[in-house]
Structures are given as structure tokens and as C-alpha cells.
């Protein structure tokens, strides 16, 4: 499958990519900035090129925007950035999580199904994403 350009932001934490999707103004850059404050590294902001190879999804920034992140009210900021990352998790800001202990969702990226978290409006959400990447999660009992 050829590479696709997505309206998405990507950060990397401990060699695991987080692809943040959502409509314009939903907070993709803001969430990325919070994750970066906890130690994640920027891959791409707002536009992300994704491609599938060997059963994995790779994300990278288009050349003109590499190393930049938009922060509303401040401007375009320079940031340490990786050239690419293997996406391990998608965070969909257009979907609101309503369950206390939700089942893990999945979403299609380049023909592959990746684990997906829906947005949960709470201060711990960014820290929870990073803990998920560090140690995984357990499925709630049915």
C-alpha cells in the first residue's frame, strides 16, 4: 500500500509511536506538547505521512514541517524531532470515551488494525497514554 498523508500528529515514546488523530482544533498539537513535556519526542505535527511495511505502520513528517510544532497563542516552535517512528497506538480525539474501564478499540491505518484509545477529558489522560506504552493494559472482565 502506498504512503498516505493524514491530518494527524505523531510523537515517539521509548521507540513507540503515538498517532494522534482528530479534526482541526481538537487538540492534537496540545496533547503532543503534553506528552513531550513527559519525555516523548516529536515526529510530526498536523500532517503525518504513514506507510505500512512488514506488518507495521511507520509515521514520518513531511520535510517542510520536520522539527516544528504549532502552539496556539505562542506560535510555531522548534522541537527536537525524530525522522520516523513505528506506530504502536492511535489516539482518536474525535471519539469520546464514556466507559470507566473500556475495551480497547481498534482502527485501520494503511490496511492494518492498530490499538486505539478514544479521548477522555481528564488531566491524567496524557500520563495514562505513556503508562500504556510502558507496560500495556489489561482487558476488563466481561
Grid cell digits, residue 74: 505562542
CA-CA-CA-CA torsion sign (93, 4, 43, 52): positive
Grid cell digits, residue 4: 498516505
Residues of the chain with pLDDT under 70: 141-142
Instruction: Give the per-residue pLDDT at 141.
Output: 65
Query: What CATH number should be reported for the domain holding residue 91?
Result: 3.40.50.300
Give a yes or no: residue 79 inside a domain.
Answer: yes
Give a yes or no: residue 38 inside a domain.
Answer: yes
Q: Which range marks the domain in which residue 70 is found? A: 4-135
Give a yes or no: residue 89 inside a domain.
Answer: yes
Rounded-to-integer distance, Cα 88 and Cα 78, Å: 25
Instruction: Give the per-residue pLDDT at 139.
Output: 80
Amino acid at each position: 500500500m502506498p504512503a498516505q498523508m493524514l491530518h494527524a500528529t505523531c510523537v515517539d515514546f521509548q521507540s513507540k509511536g503515538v498517532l494522534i488523530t482528530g479534526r482541526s482544533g481538537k487538540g492534537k498539537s496540545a496533547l503532543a506538547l503534553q506528552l513531550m513535556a513527559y519525555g516523548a519526542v516529536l515526529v510530526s505535527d498536523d500532517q503525518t505521512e504513514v506507510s505500512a511495511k512488514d506488518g507495521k505502520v511507520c509515521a514520518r513528517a513531511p520535510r517542510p514541517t520536520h522539527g516544528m510544532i504549532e502552539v496556539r497563542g505562542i506560535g510555531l516552535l522548534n522541537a527536537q524531532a525524530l525522522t520516523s517512528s513505528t506506530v504502536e497506538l492511535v489516539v482518536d480525539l474525535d471519539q469520546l470515551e464514556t466507559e470507566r474501564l473500556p475495551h480497547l478499540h481498534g482502527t485501520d491505518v494503511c490496511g492494518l488494525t492498530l490499538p486505539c484509545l478514544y479521548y477522555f477529558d481528564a488531566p491524567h489522560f496524557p500520563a495514562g497514554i505513556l503508562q500504556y506504552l510502558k507496560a500495556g493494559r489489561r482487558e476488563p472482565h466481561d
